[in-house]
Amino acid sequence: MDLQSFMKGVTRRNPAEKEFHQAVKEVAEHVIPYINQHPIYEKARILERLTEPDRVVVFRVSWEDDQQNVRVNRGYRVQFSNAIGPYKGGLRFDKSVSLSILKFLGFEQTFKNSLTTLPMGGAKGGSDFNPKGKSNPEIMRFCQSYMTELQHHIGKDVDVPAGDIGVGEREISYLFGQYKRISGEFSGTLTGKGLSFGGSPIRKEATGYGCVYLAEEMLKRKDECLDDKICLISGSGNVAQHAAEKLIELGAKVVTFSDRNGFVHIPDGATQENLNYIIDLKTNQRGSLKTFAGEFGFTFYENEKPWKITCDLAFPCATQNELDKYDAQILLKHGCQLVCEGSNMPTTIEGVHLFEEAKILYAPSKAANAGGVAISGLEMTQNSIRITWSREEVDRHLKTIMHKIHEQCVEYGNKGNNHISYLKGANIGGFEKVAKALLSFGVV
Ligand code: NDP
Ligand code: 2IT
């Protein structure tokens, strides 16, 4: 089996889905050599099966805005694989949402969920609905209309959606309210719920915290720690906020945040007061970081990305392909020693290759941001047994899961000379469990 002809087939079958091609290529670069050493996977066409979603649901979402105009959006759910558990993955509401983006995310989710060691398959969904500038009643009406169709395809043992870009606790609450109303059932069919109706402690924080716990593990292996490290964060949403919170708590300095308008530089490191302001600005007022920079007297770099600021560690936490080869070059030139991906596929393939060649500590998103879905998995567990665990207990589980992810990366990514490719480790570690399950099922 060779990479080029495999990718030719993927491209031919999925024309114009460039994000999907990118995600598949990143995995295939490591998994194909592994398959060639284990011919049983080739014979059973495991990688071909894993690059074809189980099914894709596409539907119309009609809703009415505050001026009584009828609006029409497209809704999706890509159910990628339920080989090792019910479909599981977030919903993204963003004007850029396309089938290619959701297929790349669903594909990645399958490997990520496998790495968590929990029984969850992979899925992703969402809509090209743009939440920017919409009122609460508009968001509610959109969520209700979206769920009116989606409810046919999900269920607590079938497919369990959660949040992603543009979908936070407010949207999950509207979606859950509508699901409960139509199905007549109170169950854990969505995760990321409010704490008063079945949500798990730490779910909101888990992606950002988990990303920092993994960075800590990677540094520890090198006898290093987070103390006083200069950190760049991109994004200022859920993942960025909680990565920053944990980094500050553990003694690191967070010197940037970004949003769609640019980035803010905080030379001495953000304080908890700065962070509280950003959380309120982004969660309650849906404002711009420009306002934050103005309020505290920091410089705001319009339409720029944070990667040119000198740092020790970088945490991309905004969106896909936000860090290209030029950004990677400048990070490496400035001596950055670790890149830990909070967002999904933030680094272009060329950028990834540069990090790998430089042998810095580079954790791909499917390992680094798996803490969020892991705690979603534990929210499902708590819902099933009708118990809510304490914050401390869930946080302990999160640390253990991130530790196990690190162990899998070390097991499968050991390149000799004490060098670990976390990329190779995550890709093969994630693949192995799903591939074994598919082999056991026969030809399905
Ligand atoms: P949010 O919607 O809470 O925040 C997204 C942040 O990224 C915002 O600051 C937003 O800017 C910025 N952003 C979004 N799109 C762009 C863009 N095209 N260019 C520049 N900045 C952009 O989302 P999350 O924090 O939940 O998600 C961030 C990333 O983490 C995504 O890649 C998501 O898939 C991934 N992820 C999320 C998980 C979760 O549990 N929520 C779990 C695992 C991964 P603005 O404020 O201007 O909108
Ligand atoms: O990309 C992701 O892992 C998420 N958006 C979280 C998915 C989930 O089901 O919690």
CA atoms within 13 A on the CB side of 185: 10
Packing angle of the helix pair 325-333, 349-358 (nearest 10 deg): 30
Tell me phi and psi for residue 266, to 5 degrees: -120, 85
Q: In whole angstroms, give the CA distance from residue 207 to residue 190.
A: 17
Residues noted as catalytic: 124
Closest-lying ligand 2 atom to the alpha carbon of residue 192: 10
H-helix or E-strand spanning residue 111:
helix 99-115
E strand spans, 333-443: 338-340, 361-363
Q: Any idea where the domains of the chain sit in the sequence?
A: 1-52, 54-187, 206-368
pLDDT at 314: 99
Candidate from 239, 286, 291, 347 with most ligand 1 atoms within 8 A of CB, to mutate: 239
How far, in Å, is the centroid of ligand 1 from the Cα of 36?
Answer: 37
Query: Quick one: CA dihedral 5, 8, 12, 18, positive or negative?
Result: positive
Taking the CA of 259 as reference, the closest ligand is 1
- What is the β-pairing status of strands 338-340 and 313-315? parallel
How far, in Å, is the centroid of ligand 2 from the Cα of 162?
Answer: 6
How far, in Å, is the centroid of ligand 1 from the Cα of 417?
Answer: 36
pLDDT at 273: 98
How far, in Å, is the centroid of ligand 2 from the Cα of 210?
Answer: 12
Q: Return all residues near 335 (Cβ < 8 A) that are at least 6 apart.
A: 310, 312
Q: Kindly indicate whether the domain formed by 54-187 is annotated with CATH number 3.40.50.10860.
A: yes
Q: In whole angstroms, give the CA distance from residue 431 to residue 428.
A: 5
Q: What angle do CA 142, 183, 104 make, to 5 degrees?
A: 55
114 contacts 433 by C-beta, under 8 angstroms: yes
CA distance from start to end of the chain? 21
CATH code: domain 206-368 is 3.40.50.720
pLDDT in tens, the chain (444 residues): 999 999 999 999 999 999 999 999 999 999 999 999 999 999 999 999 999 999 999 999 999 999 999 999 999 999 999 999 999 999 999 999 999 999 999 999 999 999 999 999 999 999 999 999 999 999 999 999 999 999 999 999 999 999 999 999 999 999 999 999 999 999 999 999 999 999 999 999 999 999 999 999 999 999 999 999 999 999 999 999 999 999 999 999 999 999 999 999 999 999 999 999 999 999 999 999 999 999 999 999 999 999 999 999 999 999 999 999 999 999 999 999 999 999 999 999 999 999 999 999 999 999 999 999 999 999 999 999 999 999 999 999 999 999 999 999 999 999 999 999 999 999 999 999 999 999 999 999
pLDDT at 200: 98
Can you give the length of the chain in residues? 444
H-helix or E-strand spanning residue 147:
helix 136-150
Strand, coil or helix: what is 17? coil
Residue nearest to atom 13 of ligand 1 (CA): 318
87 contacts 150 by C-beta, under 8 angstroms: no
Strand partners, 124: 78
Strand, coil or helix: what is 313? strand
Q: Return all residues near 5 (Cβ < 8 A) that are at least 6 apart.
A: none
Ligand 2 pocket residues where CB is under 6 Å = 88-90, 109, 112, 162, 164, 191, 344, 369, 372-373, 376
pLDDT at 107: 98
Taking the CA of 377 as reference, the closest ligand is 2
Residue nearest to atom 17 of ligand 1 (CA): 260
Domains 54-187 and 206-368 share a fold: yes
